[in-house]
Each structure stands twice: as C-alpha cells, then as structure tokens.
Amino acid sequence: MREIYTPDGIKWQYLHGVPDPSLVSPDAYEHDAALLARPGQAEIQLDLISDYGSNIALYPAFQAYFRDSQVPLLATWGAHDAIFVPAGALAFQRDLPEAEVHLLPTGHFALETHASRIAALIRDFLARSLTS
C-alpha cells in the first residue's frame, strides 16, 4: 500500500480512468504529494487503510437505515474508478430503489474532471428532494 502514497501513486489516483488527463490540473496531485511527503503522513494514511474493515462491519446498519428510511440519495461516481468501483455506487439501489446513481466517464476524483456536471446534478437533486 505504500506505493499508493508515492508521487507516482498519487498521480495514478488522479489520472487512472480519466479519458483526457489534460482535464486534471497537476496542482491537485502535486499538492497531495507535497502534503503526504510530510513526516509521519504515510503512516497515518496506512493506519486509516488498515482500519477500513471497521467501516465494512457497519454496512449492515447503514443498509438497514436506508431500507427503513428510504432517504433520498444521489451518488455521482467515476465509472472508471478503480478504488471505489462502480458496483459500490450501484449497491445503494438494492436498499434504496429510488437512489439516483450517475456513473460519469472518469476515474476516482470525479470532481477534477466533472465539477460542473456534478454541481448541476446536486442542484437538480436538491431542488426536487427538498420540495418533496
């Protein structure tokens, strides 16, 4: 996992699955690389990843909440995200059949390439959801 926090690994997270890498500002991954290069930061990130299993243990409670509440849900997701794969977004619809899932033609950091589209989806979703 340490490789993911190297400058090349960080750049990969931003560019993998992005059809046009020129849409991603190098400032984004260079800034992250600089922040993660600070002493102790790689270890903090590795601790977070090693604890991810505790999130999975909570999934049944989240799923029960979704089934019981039928809360409105919007998921905008990179269709080519190799970190949080699209099946994760589509899974919301098992418990929330009305969930809106938009798989955008991009990778993990969808806002880097689709900020305007995501903002429009959020505005539309909120306009409909807050009036219901």
Active site residues: 108
Cα(103)–Cα(78) distance, integer angstroms:
6
Cα(104)–Cα(81) distance, integer angstroms:
10
103, 86 contact by CB (below 8 A): yes
118, 111 contact by CB (below 8 A): yes
Count the neighbouring beta carbons within 10 Å of the beta carbon of residue 120.
Answer: 11
Cα(71)–Cα(129) distance, integer angstroms:
10
Residue 10 CA to its chain's centroid (Å): 15
